Amino acid sequence: MNGLELPPVIFFLAGAALLPLLPAAGRAGVCVLFPILALVHIVLLPEGAEFEVAFLQYDLVLLKADGMGRMFGIAFALVAAVAGIYAWHMRELRQQLAAMSYAGGAMGVVFAGDFFTLLVFWELMAVASALLVWAGGTSRAGAAGLRYLIFHLLGGSLLLAGIVMEVSATGDLALRAFAEQVSAGKILILLGVLVNAGMPGLHAWLPDSYPKSTVTGSIFLNAFTTKTAVYVLAVCFPGWEVLFVCGLIMALYAVSYAVLANDIRLILAYHIISQVGYMVAAIGIGGDFALNSAAAHAYNNILYKTLMFMGAGAVLFMVNETRLTHLGGLFRRMPWVVVLYLVGGAAISGLPLFNGFVSKSMVMDAVYGRDLGYYLLALASVGTFLSVGIKLPYYTWFYRETPRELKVRWNVPANMIVAMAILAVICVTYGVWPSLQYAQLPFPEDFSAYRTDFVVKAIQIPLATFLVFWFFRHKILGEAKIVLDTDWFYRKPSPYMGAFVLDGVNRFFGACESALDRLIERRIVPPFRNPLKTLGFKPGSGDHFDPDMDRTSLGSAVGLTLLVVVVAVVLSL
């Protein structure tokens, strides 16, 4: 083993350990420097490098360098460094520690070579990301963070149970691809991973919590949890047909809610789920090309979606408002933020010359043979461009004058603009020179994104969508209403369940306590109020002991003392 074969997670854990020892002014540099060191380390990792430690009768693999893990690791380290630049002005130690630990957990997952190591870093991500939600500091953030943690504890428990069952059945702890042969353990592992992926029905934690985090916290939350789930699905469940169906459901379900949502960070949160749907569908198809397309789309999504969250965060920082119905006319106050956000919007919409076009073309080509799936994903792409490519930027920055009730800060911190510019340049670079990304893919690839049919479709669909939007632009904004999601099923009955479970249990134990108090008062305590009367020595005395009337005679005391001495002597002999 040489120095290059160390797990990249070490850089993040070392950075997190160093943060509390530094003054506030020095901590921001650590949050940028250590991810950069991890990025360089990953690029230099030799193919097939491993790092093992012995644990009980198993060899735990903390580093397994392959093409899939390297691609995700590069994306995670890159976005962590840029997010550190974006958060340069932020001095809160709790957020910095949580962010570094969270990124380290994601890095640990994508380089793990066994299920136990994966589970440890999986749970580290859950705890650290919950802290980022709680850092929002409001009562709503506190409640959302608790629900977030409950969901992820559920997912982690399912994952743990599945791992235990699989290891018990096979004796093999290695992280590996499962044959499409159903077993209870595999199903539990799949469900545990789908919780983190945001599968509809298991997804409510994501739109519930991400919009309630801090300006900088949501940047980190966007990048890691769902993408590590995509990685695990790609490694363990390639070619599982059920994932193709799951991916289609995710893409369409979430984009529908994104079109209806009013909060800009909520819109982007739903689009995380929708975009992950493309990746999951490709994984369900299986094969080298489909897995390449899923990895490429995950890589690009980490970049352009982080850029878009940065734009939304800049709006929140500047006006402390994220509802479309309360925004508008901010373009002149933050032109660079708008331009850079639109780069991300063009990328997620799959427009040519942006990185999203390359990976989305790959996914659509992988799905092409499945007509229904192809057209459903094409329909989802219409909703994507409508909601985050047109609706969000138009109503945030261009529609009407700035509302008078908005208190606008004149300047967005320069570090925010720099971070957005870095990601925008990368998105354009990969879009103009896709060969740079092809070289990073897990499997050899000679795909050509700039075919005439791809380019024409990539222009026709957004153009038609824009024309429809422009015609109905005064009606699409809608009203400031809450759109009910599956969380209604546990939010609505929660007061009644609380009254039934908590209040009922409290009343039951209260009644038991009162009954026990009465029993003790009536049956247990009275004999001890005057022990001499109870034992028959003072039968005529009162119910309560009187030290003057109820004391025993001196002879009784001397006799008892002699008896004790005699017994002690006899026992000693």
Residue 52 near residue 144, CB atoms below 8 Å = no
Q: What is the C-alpha to C-alpha distance for residues 62 and 496, in angstroms, rounded to an integer? A: 46
Higher model confidence: residue 478 or residue 40? Answer: 40
Measured CA to CA in angstroms, residue 45 lies from 36, 73, 82, 139, 299 at distances of 14, 11, 21, 44, 19
Mean pLDDT, the chain, integer: 88
Residue 140 near residue 36, CB atoms below 8 Å = no
Q: Is the pLDDT score of 328 beyond 90?
A: no
Residue 248 near residue 347, CB atoms below 8 Å = no
**Which pLDDT does position 486 carry in this prediction?**
75
Section 279-286 average pLDDT:
95
**Nearest CA-CA partner of 145 in 135, 156, 129, 130:** 130
Residue 69 near residue 231, CB atoms below 8 Å = yes
**Which pLDDT does position 325 carry in this prediction?**
86
pTM for the model stands at: 0.86
Structure confidence by residue, pLDDT tens digits, 69-104: 999 999 999 999 999 999 999 989 999 999 999 999
Q: What is the C-alpha to C-alpha distance for residues 110 and 121, in angstroms, rounded to an integer? A: 10
Q: What is the C-alpha to C-alpha distance for residues 211 and 412, in angstroms, rounded to an integer? A: 20
Q: What is the C-alpha to C-alpha distance for residues 220 and 140, in angstroms, rounded to an integer? A: 19
**Nearest CA-CA partner of 281 in 242, 240, 243:** 243
Structure confidence by residue, pLDDT tens digits, 379-429: 999 999 999 999 999 999 988 776 667 777 768 899 999 999 999 999 999
Q: Which residues touch 413 (CB under 8 Å, ≥6 apart)?
A: 88, 89, 317
Q: Which residues touch 314 (CB under 8 Å, ≥6 apart)?
A: 215, 334, 337, 412, 416, 420
Radius of gyration in angstroms for the set of CA atoms belonging to the chain, rounded to a whole number: 31
Section 192-200 average pLDDT:
95
Bridge partners, residue 53, by sequence: 60
Q: What is the C-alpha to C-alpha distance for residues 530 and 379, in angstroms, rounded to an integer? A: 87
Residue 348 near residue 363, CB atoms below 8 Å = no
**Nearest CA-CA partner of 35 in 19, 46, 48, 22:** 19
**Which pLDDT does position 128 carry in this prediction?**
95
What token pair was written down for 536?
């028959």
Bridge partners, residue 51, by sequence: 63
Percent share of the chain, pLDDT over 90: 62
Structure confidence by residue, pLDDT tens digits, 207-244: 999 999 999 999 999 999 999 999 999 999 999 999 99
Q: Is the pLDDT score of 112 beyond 90?
A: yes
Structure confidence by residue, pLDDT tens digits, 130-150: 999 999 888 889 989 999 999
**Which pLDDT does position 507 carry in this prediction?**
81
Domain definitions of the chain by residue range:
1-237, 238-478, 486-516
pLDDT bin (cut points 50, 70, 90) of residue 2 is low
**Nearest CA-CA partner of 70 in 445, 440, 447, 443:** 440
How many Å separate Cα 157 from the centre of its chain?
15
Query: Beta strand 50-55 with 58-64: parallel, antiparallel or unpaired?
Result: antiparallel
Measured CA to CA in angstroms, residue 198 lies from 71, 149, 321, 464 at distances of 22, 14, 26, 30
Section 107-111 average pLDDT:
96
Alpha-carbon dihedral of residues 302, 264, 216, 491, nearest 10 degrees?
-100
Q: Is the pLDDT score of 533 beyond 80?
A: no
Structure confidence by residue, pLDDT tens digits, 453-472: 889 988 988 898 888 888 87
pLDDT bin (cut points 50, 70, 90) of residue 541 is low
Q: Is the pLDDT score of 537 beyond 80?
A: no
Q: Is the pLDDT score of 22 beyond 70?
A: yes
